[in-house]
Amino acid sequence: MRQGGFSLVELVVIIGIIGILIAIGTLDYGNWSRKYNAEAQMKTMYADFASAKLDALHSKRQYQITLGSSQYVIRNYSSAFDATGTVTQTKTLKTPVTWSHDNIITFDTRGFTPLSSARTVCLASSGATIVDCVIVSQTRIDLGQKINPGGECASANCRPR
């Protein structure tokens, strides 16, 4: 007569199935976490760029954003004679970025950028993120997604969201 309980084979099979499910969940979590951090970085950059634009407008001072692959620096200038400016923010980036044109974005005292063409800042390797580029035009700042993820970092390759 069989007593209640599980055999050793049944327990080993169940533990194996649980182990496989945990392994799959861990791999998926790592990918999700990487995409989340990249998107959060782009949203933070967008908010910082918009804040610098508004600060330039409200304070009637020129603001300048200097981009690097691993950080960006925001400065304000008290007058046209102020050559170095005052650093208001320095942000270190977890995911490297690339950009179109030069690495300096300037907002004048009216909050406009004296650009002949839009500047685009993109994640260096975006994967399948929802937002992976920021477009800064003369009057607007837009958060977007690359049309061709492997393509160049340019406003033509970034669709505003």
**Angle subtended at Cα 23 by Cα 19 and Cα 25, rounded to the nearest 5 degrees:** 115
What are the boundaries of each domain within the chain?
8-160
> Taking the complete model, does pTM exceed 0.85, yes or no?
no
Residue 135 in contact with residue 112, Cβ under 8 Å?
no
Class of domain 8-160 (CATH, top level): alpha beta
Q: Digits of tens for pLDDT over the chain (161 positions)?
A: 567 788 889 999 999 999 998 888 777 787 788 888 889 999 999 999 999 999 999 999 999 999 998 999 999 999 888 888 999 999 999 989 999 888 999 999 999 998 778 899 998 876 677 888 999 999 999 999 998 888 888 889 999 98
